[in-house]
């Protein structure tokens, strides 16, 4: 008995010559490389390997070989995965419709300031990859774990484990949105093959990269060379990066209102999380910022007057992008740029400092060196790391400034100690010798505070 479990399967008829326009002809292909085979039943057919074995499928009458070929191209991916071709099942939620609704919802969050354009752009790129692998007419209800294994394999052709983990998260959010908004009757089953790479895998990748390219931080000697060679305002930005772990967007969006140069403090919540953050400044950082403010140009746009740093073109050091409507009617974000990263890269290349290190490596360096101060709570507060523990709900104020200065001064003495005798680090226990000498006295603080021991992050 013929297998009729699939819509495009039909019972085999008796072998005979096929008559077209009342003229008998022999069964043959229109050209030698034609992928379909004429069947005595009067249809074009092809044997395809499915998850359940090899099966014969039929793609239309012999009189319409071009239509049969188009049908093969439209359905072969679905057939190989053992599912009903989307082109034959007209009822259900199409992937393109789901993505459009999801991106429209996220566009609303951009308008209210709850989501950045960069994040929206990342979601759009995730959608483009889904359409590439599944097809725009794919029925979401028919997606199975085997489909997501295929998607995961496609990710692996161009991305590493870290990017793959981020893409898997975003893809899952798209389908979860469909279910939670009643666009789907049941959740999509991703299967065990569509999980984020394990921590073990990520550790191996980082270890391999570290072995190949070295640690993702600069040495004290390299940093001093960078600071000496950097023009303003890059010099000030670099000092802030190693002084308190500020990243590209932090320095690009730093407002004048966050600076208290008389006290040597930056009070600037972290843009990414909104977490409170206060950073004691070194005398070198204060001096560099004062030098920059003395030559800072007036902004081209009055709306940027609140920013500390402006480019030569009198514009901000970031480009968040803008929505652009293409000829097809589709929307995309264009104009995303990171001038801080580009300018810093040019500076490193001119100095012959290569590798995978970038401006963010300054933040890595601060965190790595600061752990020697043995006050994890103070380090987290300076860096803007949020504390989700129950104990944090009972804390009503920030940390004493003295504890924060112990951490930043520890990093400062690591950076400048070999160049100027502004302080010492005890070989015995890692404590700072806060003597009122050099630049430490320049800010007028003496720190007899001993940071408590704590586990290093």
Q: What is the CATH number of the domain that holds 244?
A: 1.10.443.10
Rg (Cα) of the chain, in Å, rounded? 31
Q: 41: phi > 0 → left, psi -120 to 50 → alpha, else beta; which?
A: alpha
Say whether pLDDT at 393 is over 70: no
201: containing domain? 95-213
Say whether pLDDT at 76 is over 80: yes
Return the minimum-mean-pLDDT range out of 227-241, 294-308, 368-382, 435-449: 435-449
In this prediction, residue 395 has a pLDDT band, given cuts at 50, 70 and 90, of low
Pair (60, 157) in one structural domain: no
Pair (130, 271) in one structural domain: no
Pair (370, 431) in one structural domain: yes
Pair (297, 422) in one structural domain: yes
Token representation of residue 330: 């589709």
d(C-alpha 83, C-alpha 413), whole Å: 65
Question: What tens digit of pLDDT does each residue of 7-38 get?
Answer: 454 444 433 333 334 333 456 788 989 999 99
Among the candidates 182, 213, 244, a domain finishes at: 213
d(C-alpha 251, C-alpha 193), whole Å: 40
Residue 453 domain flag: no
What pLDDT is stored for residue 12 in this prediction?
Answer: 40
Residue 436 domain flag: yes
Among the candidates 156, 185, 213, a domain finishes at: 213
Pair (33, 127) in one structural domain: no
Q: What is the DSSP letter of 55?
A: E
Say whether pLDDT at 208 is over 90: no
Question: What tens digit of pLDDT does each residue of 301-359 get?
Answer: 999 999 999 999 999 998 888 888 777 666 778 878 889 999 999 999 999 997 778 99
Pair (275, 379) in one structural domain: yes
- Mean pLDDT over 175-186 rounds to 90
Residue 455 domain flag: no
What pLDDT is stored for residue 452 in this prediction?
Answer: 38
pTM of the entire predicted model: 0.66
Which is higher by pLDDT, 114 or 389?
Answer: 114
Pair (209, 231) in one structural domain: no
Pair (392, 432) in one structural domain: yes
Question: Helix (H) and strand (E) counts for the chain?
Answer: 15, 12
Residue 84 domain flag: yes
Say whether pLDDT at 440 is over 80: no
**Does residue 368 contact residue 230 with C-beta atoms inside 8 Å?**
no
Residue 2 domain flag: no
Say whether pLDDT at 160 is over 50: yes
What are the angstrom distances between the C-alpha of 325 and each of 64, 99, 108, 321, 337? 39, 17, 16, 13, 19
Query: What percent of the chain lies above the pLDDT cut of 90?
Result: 51
Pair (300, 342) in one structural domain: yes
Say whether pLDDT at 400 is over 60: yes
Say whether pLDDT at 438 is over 50: no
What pLDDT is stored for residue 223 in this prediction?
Answer: 96
Return the minimum-mean-pLDDT range out of 191-205, 253-267, 410-424: 410-424
- Mean pLDDT over 147-165 rounds to 94
CATH number, domain with residue 155: 1.10.150
Query: What percent of the chain lies above the pLDDT cut of 70?
Result: 79
What are φ and ψ of residue 197, in 5° steps? -55, 140
In this prediction, residue 439 has a pLDDT band, given cuts at 50, 70 and 90, of very low
Among the candidates 213, 240, 261, a domain finishes at: 213
Pair (256, 382) in one structural domain: yes
Specify the length of the chain in residues.
457
Q: Of the candidates 164, 254, 153, which has an alpha carbon nearest to the alpha carbon of residue 201?
A: 164
d(C-alpha 241, C-alpha 367), whole Å: 11
Say whether pLDDT at 4 is over 90: no
Pairing of strands 53-61, 259-260: unpaired
Residue 11 domain flag: no
Pair (194, 339) in one structural domain: no
Contacts of 154 (CB under 8 A, 6+ apart): 129, 132, 133
**Does residue 382 contact residue 404 with C-beta atoms inside 8 Å?**
yes
Give the count of alpha carbons within 13 A of 60, CB side only.
12
- Could you check whether the bond before residue 233 is cis, i.e. omega within 30 degrees of 0? yes
Residue 331 domain flag: yes
Number of domains in the chain: 3
Pair (364, 388) in one structural domain: yes
């Amino acid at each position: 008995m013929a297998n009729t479990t699939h819509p495009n399967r039909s019972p085999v008829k008796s072998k005979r010559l096929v008559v077209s326009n009342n003229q008998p002809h022999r069964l043959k292909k229109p050209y030698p490389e034609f992928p379909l085979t004429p069947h005595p039943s009067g249809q074009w057919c092809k044997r395809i390997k499915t998850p359940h074995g090899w099966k014969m499928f039929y793609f239309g009458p012999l009189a319409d070989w071009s239509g049969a070929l188009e049908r093969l191209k439209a359905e072969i991916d679905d057939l190989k995965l053992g599912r009903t071709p989307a082109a034959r099942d007209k009822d259900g939620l199409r992937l393109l419709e789901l993505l459009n609704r999801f991106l429209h919802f996220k566009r609303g969050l951009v308008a209210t300031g709850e989501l950045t354009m960069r994040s929206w752009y990342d979601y759009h790129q995730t959608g483009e990859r889904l359409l590439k692998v599944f097809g725009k007419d794919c029925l979401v209800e028919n997606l199975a774990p085997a489909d997501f294994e295929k998607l995961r394999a496609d990710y692996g052709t161009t991305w590493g484990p870290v990017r793959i983990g981020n893409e898997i998260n975003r893809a899952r959010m798209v389908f979860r949105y469909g279910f939670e908004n009643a666009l789907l009757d049941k959740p999509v089953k991703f299967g065990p093959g569509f999980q984020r790479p394990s921590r073990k895998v990520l550790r191996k990748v980082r270890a391999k990269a570290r072995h190949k390219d070295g640690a993702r931080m600069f040495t004290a000697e390299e940093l001093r060379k960078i600071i000496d060679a950097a023009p303003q305002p890059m010099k000030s930005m670099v000092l802030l990066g190693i002084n308190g772990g500020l990243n590209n967007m932090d320095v690009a969006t730093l407002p004048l209102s966050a600076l208290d140069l008389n006290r040597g403090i930056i009070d600037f919540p972290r843009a990414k999380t909104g977490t409170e953050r206060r950073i004691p400044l070194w005398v070198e950082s204060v001096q560099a910022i004062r030098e920059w403010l003395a030559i800072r140009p007036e902004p081209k746009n009055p709306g940027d007057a609140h920013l500390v740093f402006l480019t030569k073109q009198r514009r901000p050091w970031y480009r968040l992008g803008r929505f652009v409507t293409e000829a097809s009617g589709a929307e995309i974000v264009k104009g995303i740029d990171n001038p801080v990263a580009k300018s810093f890269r040019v500076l490193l290349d001119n100095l012959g400092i290569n590798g995978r290190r970038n401006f963010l490596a300054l933040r890595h360096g601060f965190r790595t060196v600061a752990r020697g101060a043995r006050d994890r709570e103070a380090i987290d507060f300076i860096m803007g790391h949020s504390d989700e523990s129950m104990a944090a709900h009972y804390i009503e104020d920030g940390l004493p400034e003295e504890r924060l200065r112990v951490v930043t001064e520890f990093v400062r003495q690591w950076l400048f100690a070999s160049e100027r005798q502004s302080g010492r680090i005890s070989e015995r226990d890692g404590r700072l010798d806060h003597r009122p000498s050099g630049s430490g006295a320049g800010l007028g603080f003496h720190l007899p505070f001993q940071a408590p021991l704590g586990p290093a992050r």
